[in-house]
Amino acid sequence: MKKILLLGSTGSIGTQTLEVLEQYSDEFQVVGLVAYQNEKLLRTQQEKFTNANAILLQRDGFGKVESLIEKSDIVVNVLSGESGIAPSIQTLEKGKKLLIANKEALVVAGETLMKIARKNKTEIIPIDSELTGILECLGKRPIHEVEKIILTCSGGPFHGKTREELENVTVAQALKHPRWNMGKKISMDSATLMNKGFELIAASFIFGISQEKIEVVIHPESIVRALIQWRDGNITAAISPVDMRHTITYALFHPERKASTLPRLDLTKTPLTFQKPDEKIFRSLGLAREAAEKGEKRTAELSRKNDEAVGKFLNGEIKFLEI
């Protein structure tokens, strides 16, 4: 019975993680539920997972989180923002396995996290459709056999639009993602493609591969999550229904495969299309490549500047293209 601490239990990925954990209650015991401010939902979750300590960060702070990390075998960090960095570091320093969907932590402190993980002989497993897809494709093969990693991208709400068409887009339009129902910040990053830029940075850190060997392609169906092209020219792909619970289940049991009752994909009803992103309009990808090439200090700066710009757009201070 593995003991699980879930950081960010009331968010979208957090609630889906709990759905998965319910299905495997004989495998996992939830010892802690940590939320930022949604106390009502946190209490409801605690009624279901009666052995779990509940912490509301807005009220309790991070003081009690470290002791819960100590009691856990696996820490699942799905917090948003840079608040997720410190508990990730604590988890790895204590030699615990870290499952992480906190992209900001990987972008701002990816090099640091990987060094701590290696030093303490523990693992970082991404909970992200694309990054986890890379992990699945890679298996136990060495990274030097990889010719390139291919990250797929839905394209967000503005794929195919011209600069003129994007000149006066509204906040509501930018937040309307064609595939996923997400929070404001990640929805905005998906609209600008910065989210894909952050995944490129995270992939470079996690898998130890140059950004030059990472390609981004638009795949509107969001079914092919990631691909690896090997040095012999063959390609391996990670494919699943558009359902984060598949990714969460894989991450929880990695490297094992467990039987699940999750929806299956009917390939006879599934068209697959791929296109190149327009990096002249969506400049985030180029900025992410430049930052990844220069290291952690520059990627941290990119993350913070992006936060500022997105905040200004959401507040009506700048236009979409000014981000």
Which residues, 6 or more positions from 88, have their beta carbon under 8 angstroms from its beta carbon? 75, 77, 98, 100, 102, 105, 109, 113
Q: Which amino acid is at 153?
A: C
Q: If you average pLDDT over every residue of the chain, what do you get?
A: 94
pLDDT at 180: 67
Residue 37 and residue 74 in contact, taking contact as beta carbons nearer than 8 Å: no
Q: What is the pLDDT of residues 211-256, one digit of tens each?
A: 999 999 999 999 999 999 999 999 999 999 999 999 999 999 999 9
Low-confidence ranges of the chain (pLDDT < 70): 180
